[in-house]
Structure 1
Amino acid sequence: MKKLEALTSMDMIEDFLKNHELSFLYVSREDCGVCHAVLPRLRELLDQFPQIYLGHINAYEVEEIAAKFSIFNVPALLLFVDGKEVLREARFIHFDELESRLEKIYGMYNQATS
């Protein structure tokens, strides 16, 4: 299952995005049942994409995350390539569609860096 890095401050989040060309942020809250159901499936899905790093943010711990990234619902899933957001999903996640979009982005990224 994909390694999950806990990000507990805006500085940690910014460093995470700077240090990983492919960064996936997972924003959740402890009291969110959907969040608890989505995370294991997301980690399993991201196993297919070894160059994507996964960071987890508890929206209660890092409240400014909502304003910084315009997050209105959790769970929120954001993929960044070289620090720029390229994919966003929130609340109800359609994993087949998410997988297809990730494959396209990942494939284009690997072609560009080859």
Structure 2
Amino acid sequence: MENQLEQINFTNVIENNSNVLLDFYADWCGPCQTLLPTINKLADELKDNVTIKKVNVDEYPEFAAKFNVRSIPTLIFFKDGEPTDRHTGLITESNLRSKIDRLK
């Protein structure tokens, strides 16, 4: 039941915020851990313009499957409730900022 509630919350985040970035990750994933400081930094810096949430694929596999996440890390960008872009694998902070800027 808790997983179902949490997935509903992720859906609410996507539907109720105009600019959203979901980071699909796992704790055991080395590249995910490498990307973590950048995600946390941007989430803090850009919190007024973009909602950034992490989705653990081990805890929410159905939600990851809904967006065809097959490799991690996968970043999916949403604008007004619709996925507009995605990136799989590591990404530099400057490239990630560019993708986020396109959301605004």
Task: Give the deviation of 1:29 after TM superposition.
Answer: 0.6
Deviation digits for residues 81-111 of structure 1 (CA, Å, limit 9, x no counterpart): 11111121111223322222322332xxxxx
Deviation digits for residues 26-52 of structure 1 (CA, Å, limit 9, x no counterpart): 111110111111021122234146210
For normalisation by structure 1, the TM-score amounts to 0.75
Which amino acid in structure 2 is aligned with residue 56 of structure 1? K
For normalisation by structure 2, the TM-score amounts to 0.82
Counterpart pick for 2:42 among 41, 45, 51: 45
Matched pairs, number:
99
Matched, 1:20 2:5: no
Alpha-carbon distance between aligned partners in 1 of 2:52 and 2:46, rounded to the nearest angstrom: 13
Counterpart pick for 1:30 among 4, 27, 34: 27
The structure whose residues are more often helix, as a share, is 2
RMSD: 1.8
Which stretch of structure 1 is more off in the superposition, 20-29 or 42-51? 42-51
Listed as ranges, the matches of 1:60-71 within 5 Å are: 60-71=58-69
Task: Give the deviation of 1:13 after TM superposition.
Answer: 1.1
Partner of 1:11: 8
Counterpart pick for 2:73 among 75, 78, 82: 75
Partner of 1:57: 55
Unpaired segments of 5 or more residues in structure 2? none
Alpha-carbon distance between aligned partners in 2 of 1:26 and 1:88, rounded to the nearest angstrom: 10
Which amino acid in structure 2 is aligned with residue 96 of structure 1? S
Task: Give the deviation of 1:15 after TM superposition.
Answer: 1.1
1:48–1:10 Cα change, 3 Å: closer
